[in-house]
A and B are shown apart, each in its own frame.
Chain A
Amino acid sequence: MPSGGASTPTLAVRNVEVVYGSAIHVLRGVSLEVQPGGIVALLGANGAGKTTLLRTVSGLLRFHRGSITKGSVEFQGDGIDSLDAAAIVRRGMAQVMEGRRIFAELSVDENLRAGAYSRRDRAGVKASSEQVLELFPVLAQRRRSTAGYLSGGEQQMLAMGRAMMAAPKLLVLDEPSLGLAPLIVQQIRDLIVEINRTGTDVLLVEQNATMALSIAHHGYVLENGLIAKDGPGPALLADSDIQEFYLGVGESGSRSFRDLKTYRRRKRWSA
């Protein structure tokens, strides 16, 4: 198996098709790459298949009775589509799920320890713990508190800190800005940049396209289980279709509903 080379992407999804319960086709041939050192944004409306794509990557698909019917997922050059979630975490991919999903009844400290479950090296875990508490000073102040009583923003930081406790090579984030105040969203954004700067690649799923594209090196737009568009972050941010449908800025103010429909139709045919 190929491994390590400078050109090997950290994560490569190739032509993946996913069904739930052998009937519902959610992904219909999706390809996506995260290059070493990169932040990749994945945009798309509700139901486009973003979360499913993340589950496919992180091994949680089986938990939802979904399966990959075609294509492959490679992590640092090795096929991982047959591995379970635990094995994938051990290989160096950590996920922050949508809705944060912290362990509400455990303390902040215990949540962080749970994040390091896959690691056996005590010294390394201690180093990660110090790193995480430095990155998220809020958590350091509230280590003994019950996690469920943290504010939404603090919970999001706890979820990210917990994932970082696994010392991942790739951090996968599902809608970290969901339901948070603009100021907190900015803070989360800066933290993602900081995490990336210190050597963790990031795959970021967002509905907040402005936030995601402003930091992404590369972006993908998922629509009805297909990649409708992809390109460098700044280019997508400037793209008129993206501006209209994900950023809510029309070229000439607002357009009529009919135009929107033609766009959709065109989009589907072209893809």
Chain B
Amino acid sequence: MTKFLSLLGDGLALGAVYALVALGFVVIYRATRVINFAQGGLVVFGAFLVYQGEHTWGLGFWVSVVFAMACCAAIGAAFEALVLRRMIGQPIFAIILITIGLFLLVEPVTTTVWHNPPGGIATPWKLHTVKLGDVRLLQVNIATVVLGAVVLGAFFLLFRYTRVGLAMRATAVDQEAALAQGISVRQIFALSWAIAGAVAVVGGMMLAGGAGPAPGLSVSLSLIALRAFPAIILGGLDSPGGAVIGGLVIGVAQVMTGGYVPAEVPALGAQFADVVPYVIMFLVLLVRPYGLFGTAEVERV
């Protein structure tokens, strides 16, 4: 039982990171109908920017995070304004390929700029463990879950109660009708990319800080971030709530498999846990192609 609970803690932390990355995908998809494959790149870039602020400029952890969030928000908005805006009206396929191109750019750029950083990010919560009864939980995992909840809460408040949030939802439903209400759809697009950029930094920072089975600060974080993709398929591409639940389910499933399968079912192999997210994605696609919480269109019959 204690093993189960501590695995659950790890799984929820990893899931929270997936959820944060998935939220970035969802925000952009809802507004622009583009699946942004570069989201994983922003996660990596964000983590390195935090490192830059902390180690090279000695800014302190929280200041560095805010700085990195501002940078990635600006990068996201600029990419939308300078590149994607020219692509409006082009096939969605072409736009998605551009985001893949951007994703491929991130690795060489980060390795060129930062080489292989010796240390990771120094987080305030370190790798200490906390004991709850017999269960040992990593501080970093607790912090990750808490931060994930805070970001999710902020999202909820933004979408539900603010003028801009309402405009974002309206734009997601019908762009032309939103224009006709005086909503600037361009601003909404840019804002969505900015938000996705900022959220990616939080995810990247948690991963680089040691949440889940993380390799520390390295470009391979983008591969982990890409595993948020099964999470959004599971949750539904256009549902922020679904992104979170999808993220948590995938995270827990992956960690649990990693914890039990090698001992119980050795035939599946030690790395089976890495495959599990995609297995779940495949099964969900068979049964509910729009995800558990995705919109099957509201229509009067």
Contact = CB atoms under 8 A, between A and B. Distances in A.
Interface string B169-184: 1100111111111111
Contact of B177 (A84, A102, A151): A102
A149 interface: yes
22 contacts: A60-B176, A63-B176, A86-B182, A86-B183, A89-B180, A95-B180, A97-B177, A103-B173, A104-B173, A104-B297, A104-B299, A105-B169, A105-B295, A106-B170, A110-B170, A114-B170, A114-B181, A115-B181, A117-B167, A117-B170, A148-B298, A148-B300
B174 A101 contact: yes
Contact of B182 (A104, A118, A146, A151): A118
A35 interface: no
Interface in B118-170: 163, 166-167, 169-170
B108 interface: no
Given A89-B182, A103-B170, A105-B298, A117 B163 contact: yes
Contacts of A143: none
Contacts of B180: 58, 60, 85, 89, 94-95, 97, 101
B89 interface: yes
Interface in B82-111: 89
A65 B167 CA distance: 23
A114 B164 CA distance: 10
B88 to A, nearest CB: 9
A166 interface: yes
Nearest to B177: A101
Contacts of A148: 298-300
Interface of A: 58-60, 63, 65, 84-86, 89-90, 94-95, 97, 101-106, 110, 113-115, 117-118, 146, 148-151, 162, 166
A146 B89 CA distance: 30
Contacts of A117: 163, 166-167, 170, 181-183
Nearest to A58: B180
Given A60-B179, A65-B89, A148-B299, 15 more contacts: A60-B176, A63-B179, A85-B182, A86-B182, A86-B184, A97-B177, A101-B174, A104-B173, A104-B297, A106-B173, A110-B170, A113-B166, A114-B170, A117-B181, A166-B181
B77 to A, nearest CB: 18
A102 B174 CA distance: 8
Report which residue of A85, A95, A150 has the largest number of chain B beta carbons within 10 angstroms of its beta carbon: A85
Nearest to A147: B298
Given A60-B176, A105-B173, A118 B298 contact: no
B44 to A, nearest CB: 34
A57 to B, nearest CB: 12
Given A85-B182, A148-B298, A148-B300, A114 B166 contact: yes
Interface of B: 89, 163, 166-167, 169-170, 173-184, 295, 297-300
A103 B174 contact: yes
A146 B295 CA distance: 13
Contacts of A113: 163, 166
A150 B298 CA distance: 11
A94 B183 CA distance: 12
A168 B9 CA distance: 55
Contacts of A115: 181
B162 to A, nearest CB: 11
A59 B167 CA distance: 19
Contacts of A114: 166-167, 170, 178, 181, 183
Nearest to B183: A117
A106 B169 contact: yes
Nearest to A149: B300
A256 B180 CA distance: 43
A148 to B, nearest CB: 4
Contacts of A65: 89
A63 B181 CA distance: 14
A148 B301 CA distance: 10
B11 to A, nearest CB: 32
Contacts of A86: 179, 182-184
A59 B183 CA distance: 12
A253 to B, nearest CB: 40
B284 to A, nearest CB: 22
Contacts of B169: 103, 105-106, 110
Contacts of A97: 176-177, 180
A110 B177 contact: no
Contact of A89 (B163, B181, B297): B181
B182 A90 contact: yes
A118 B181 contact: yes
B298 to A, nearest CB: 4
A181 B100 CA distance: 50
A162 B173 CA distance: 15
A103 B298 CA distance: 10
A203 B178 CA distance: 20
A217 to B, nearest CB: 25
